[in-house]
Chain A
C-alpha cells in the first residue's frame, strides 16, 4: 500500500510562547507582558460592567460594592492585588519596550568578533533597572493592600 508523503507541521503555536525551549530571560518578560495585557483587557470589561451598576440606583451600587469590593471580601482583595501587580509589571515592561523598540540601549552594529557581544548584553542593565523599579512598587503594593498602609481605613 502506498502512503502519501506528508510533512509533519512542527508549529508549537501559542504553546511556543509559554515554553519555546531553553532560551533567554527576555522571553519570560514577553510572555508575562502578554498575560498581563490580556488580564488588563478582561479587567477593563469587568470594570465597566461593575461601574455600570451606578446607572441603576445608589442602593444598587451600595449593594454591589458591599459584595464584590476589596473592603468586603478578602478573596476579592487578593485578586485586586494581583491586578495591581499586573499593572505594575505591564507599565514598567512597557516603558522598557518603548525605549528598546525605538533603538535606545540596544547598541550599535559592530564587527562580530567571537565571543559575540549582542544587544541582549547591552540592554540587560536597563532591563534590570526597570524590573527593580517594578519590584519597589510591588513591595509598596503589599504594604498598601495587606498591612493597612493604604489611604482607606
Chain B
C-alpha cells in the first residue's frame, strides 16, 4: 500500500444523473473528474464536486456514517448508501450515480420517499397492546422481560434505517408502486415477532392481500442491497409461512412477554431473561 489517507491515488470520472424540475424536461448526465484518495466515500466525492466544480448538484445527506439512511443512491447499478461506498473499492474508472429507482426525483439525486413512508405507516410499525394504558402511563410500574433469544427474533429487522434501497432494487416495486415493498413488510414482521406486541392479528390482516406479502416473488434483491443486513426477503417469506400455517390452523400461539415490577432486583428476574454479559456473581 503505497498511499496515505488524503493523498490522490487515481483519477475517477463521475457520471451523475441530473434533473432540475424548473429547467429540464428530461434528465441528463453530467460528468466530473476528481482525484480519489484512499478512504474516500462516494459521498465525499460528491461533496468535493459540489465544492469545487458544480454547486448546483443536489442530493440528501445527514450523518455521513451509515446511520441516518438519507444518502441512498444507485451507484454503478446497485442501490447503496453513498457514505458507505468506497470509491477505490468500486474499482472502476467511471462511476455512474443515479437517484433511487421507483421513487419520483425531486432534484438530481434526491428522491421523494413519500411512498415508502406511506407503506411503512400502513403496517402499523409500533407496539400494539390490548391494554393501551400500559404504554401511556405517566409513571409506569411494570416492565417487559425479554430473553436474548426473544430479542434476536426481531433485532435484525429493527436495524432498518428506511433508506429505500430495498424498494429501489425490488423488481415488483419497480412496476407496481402500490406493492407495500420489502421495507414495510419487513417492519410488519419485526413487530409481529416481538413478544411485547399483541397486534399480530391486525398486521396479518393488513399484509395478507395481493399488494401485501403475496406480491413478493422472491428475487431477493432487497436483501442483496440492504446496507444494514436487515434481510427483508427472509422476513417476507416468514410472513407467508405464518399466513399459510394460519389458514391450515397449524400456527402455534405466539409467546407473550412476561412483565415484572419496575426496578425489581435481578434475583427476582428469571434466569433466562438475563443476558450472559449481565450476570453478576451472587454473594455466597
Contacts and interface: CB of A to CB of B under 8 A. Distances in A.
A10 B105 contact: yes
Interface string A106-125: 11011110101011100000
A16 to B, nearest CB: 3
A3 B221 CA distance: 38
B85 interface: no
Contact of B159 (A20, A112, A119): A112
A107 B152 CA distance: 13
B228 A10 contact: no
Interface in B134-151: none
A23 B152 contact: no
B217 interface: yes
Interface in B86-121: 99-106, 111-112
Interface string B231-257: 101110110110010000000000000
B177 A119 contact: no
Contacts of A106: 233-234, 237-238
Contacts of A8: 19, 21, 26-27, 104-105
A120 B223 contact: yes
A101 B256 CA distance: 26
A106 B238 CA distance: 9
A148 interface: no
B67 interface: no
A55 to B, nearest CB: 37
Given A7-B21, A101-B240, A109 B221 contact: no
Interface stretch (B34-42, B48-56, B72-80): B72-80
A22 interface: yes
A67 B180 CA distance: 49
A5 B171 CA distance: 28
Nearest to A17: B171
B179 interface: no
Contacts of B152: 109-111
Contacts of B74: 21
Nearest to B189: A109
B155 A111 contact: yes
A9 B112 CA distance: 10
Contacts of B230: 112
Given A20-B101, A109-B154, A102 B240 contact: yes
B229 A27 contact: no
Given A23-B225, A101-B218, A107 B234 contact: yes
Contact of B234 (A7, A34, A114, A118): A118
Nearest to A109: B156
Contacts of A152: none
A20 B174 contact: yes
Contacts of B201: none
B17 to A, nearest CB: 9
A97 interface: yes
B220 A120 contact: yes
B171 A10 contact: no
Given A20-B221, A21-B79, A107-B234, A11 B240 contact: no
A7 B74 CA distance: 18
Contacts of B130: none
Contacts of A3: 22-23
Interface of B: 19, 21-23, 26-27, 74, 76-79, 99-106, 111-112, 152-157, 159, 169, 171, 174-175, 177, 193, 216-221, 223-226, 228-231, 233-235, 237-238, 240-241, 244
Given A26-B220, A109-B231, 4 more contacts: A10-B105, A16-B171, A17-B174, A103-B241
11 contacts: A8-B27, A11-B175, A22-B77, A23-B224, A102-B237, A102-B244, A109-B153, A109-B154, A109-B155, A109-B235, A114-B229
Interface of A: 3, 5-14, 16-17, 20-24, 26-27, 29-31, 33-34, 97, 100-103, 106-107, 109-112, 114, 116, 118-120
